[in-house]
Amino acid sequence: MADSAFRKIQIQRDDTTFDAYVVGKDDAPGIVVIQEWWGVDFEIKNHAIKISQLEPGFKALIPDLYRGKVGLDTAEAQHLMDGLDWPGAIKDIRASVNWLKSNGSKKVGATGMCMGGALAIASSVLVPEVDAVVGFYGTPSSELADPAQAKAPIQAHFGELDNFVGFSDVTAAKNLEEKLKASGVAHEVHIYPGNGHAFLNRSPEGVSRRKSMGLSDEDEAAVELAWSRFTSWMKQYLA
Burial of 17 (0-12, 13-18, 19+ CB in 10 A): exposed
pLDDT for 153 equals: 98
Domains in the chain with CATH codes: 1-236 (3.40.50.1820)
Burial of 35 (0-12, 13-18, 19+ CB in 10 A): buried
**pLDDT-derived band at 4, boundaries 50, 70, 90:** confident
pLDDT at residue 216 greater than cutoff 80: no
Compute the average pLDDT of residues 44-65.
97
Compute the average pLDDT of residues 119-143.
98
Instruction: Return the percentage of the chain with pLDDT > 90, whole number.
Output: 90
Q: Whole-number mean pLDDT of the chain?
A: 95
**pLDDT-derived band at 202, boundaries 50, 70, 90:** confident
- pTM for this prediction: 0.97
Measured CA to CA, the distance from residue 34 to residue 32 in angstroms comes to: 6
**Please, are residues 93 and 34 in contact by the beta-carbon 8 Å criterion?**
yes
pLDDT at residue 1 greater than cutoff 70: no
**pLDDT-derived band at 2, boundaries 50, 70, 90:** low
pLDDT at residue 196 greater than cutoff 50: yes
Tell me: the pLDDT tens digits for 152-184? Answer: 999 999 999 999 999 999 999 999 999 999 999
Measured CA to CA, the distance from residue 18 to residue 213 in angstroms comes to: 30
